[in-house]
Structure 1
């Protein structure tokens, strides 16, 4: 697995790519938690659950179904948990790609309940963040693959190309191996995402603030 810190890179990159205020702090926090949460399954080692078990490390919690469950939970919390939306309401006629939608300017806060569209947007953001965790793990150089298709299949998947060094567990993290892992993650995760954010900002600059003509 990449280190727990690096799993936060995807929600942070989406937040940086979005226009100011488009992804509010609560939704960003939910995305970061969703991106890190699958690694809570390391508790399986303390419970003597085998690594290769469906509920072992990189098992059920690294499935797309788990990401979907987190997305549904986020949608429920966004819709019923507050009278202020987690994300900006979208027009009913919008057909833009999901990333373009995330990067639109956020509308002014309102006391109205979140719309269905804004709730779906929050769920989509959390799903992408959660699903990014097993996809990054599949790019690592060691361990077992990820059970993306659980519960329909317990097969562990790896990407054909695996450039990211696998992270050691906590006792060995503060070592030469841990430093090598962080450098690998900087090269293959943080720098490419930073480059993608900069490119997105250059292609889609933030809209100019309206001038006061009074």
Structure 2
């Protein structure tokens, strides 16, 4: 898997790109949370859930279906609790879907693991992309130490943070389609 840092960086970037107005900062943070949420499945290791099972790591929680459920649930709950004007629900749904789905995308670009079950539960096959430049992050805080952490963070700086910075810079200089309607 990619580290929490890479997932959060991509989630915040998506938030800023799709909802560029600074008043939507809380939605950028929500997108960051959605971007690392699929790793909730690591709790299965404590419960002895086999890695390759539907409920195992990079299984159902990393699927596109799970991303759609998370986005729909968050937008639905937000709609019920909304007291102030927020972003358009369709744009918010897209942001939360993309942020949650981005987790599997980054994981499918790593150098280890069993792949990502993007189409779970309908097709249990797990996939890696043909281009896997991101060093796989060890699972668990205790394992995220020493030279391993530097290799992981260096690869994420190059393959996640740098592209995010480029996109945000382009948005700053050229604006974004999302801000054109303001």
Task: Report if TM-score (shorter chain) is over 0.5.
Answer: yes
Structure 2 residue 54 is the aligned partner of structure 1 residue 54: yes
Structure 2 residue 83 is the aligned partner of structure 1 residue 152: no
Structure 2 residue 131 is the aligned partner of structure 1 residue 131: no
Q: Do the aligned residues in 2 keep the contact of 1:139 with 1:159 (CA within 8 Å)? A: yes
Structure 2 residue 44 is the aligned partner of structure 1 residue 44: yes
Q: Do the aligned residues in 1 keep the contact of 2:10 with 2:164 (CA within 8 Å)? A: yes
How many residue pairs align between the two structures?
Answer: 177
**Which residue does the alignment assign to 1:75?**
75
Q: CA deviation at 1:6?
A: 1.3
Residue 197 to residue 166, structure 1, CA distance change in 2 (3 Å): same
In 1, distance between residues paired with 2:85 and 2:70? Answer: 18
Q: Do the aligned residues in 1 keep the contact of 2:110 with 2:133 (CA within 8 Å)? A: yes
Q: Do the aligned residues in 1 keep the contact of 2:134 with 2:159 (CA within 8 Å)? A: yes
Q: Do the aligned residues in 2 keep the contact of 1:41 with 1:57 (CA within 8 Å)? A: yes
Could you say what secondary structure the match of 1:5 adopts?
helix
- Give the TM-score normalised by the residue count of structure 1: 0.77
1:146-195 Cα distance to aligned partner (Å, 9 max, x none): 00001111000110110000001222211211211111100110011101
Over aligned residue pairs, what C-alpha RMSD do you find? Answer: 1.9
- Give the TM-score normalised by the residue count of structure 2: 0.90
Unaligned segments of structure 1, at least 5 residues? 88-117, 208-214
Between structures 1 and 2, the one with greater helix share? 2
2:110 to 117, 126, 140: 140
In 2, distance between residues paired with 1:66 and 1:19? Answer: 25
2:149 to 178, 183, 187: 178
1:120-157 Cα distance to aligned partner (Å, 9 max, x none): 21111100100000001000011110000011110001
Unaligned segments of structure 2, at least 5 residues? none
1:161 to 102, 118, 131: 131
Q: Do the aligned residues in 1 keep the contact of 2:14 with 2:99 (CA within 8 Å)? A: no
Q: CA deviation at 1:204?
A: 2.0
1:185-213 Cα distance to aligned partner (Å, 9 max, x none): 00110011101211232222778xxxxxx
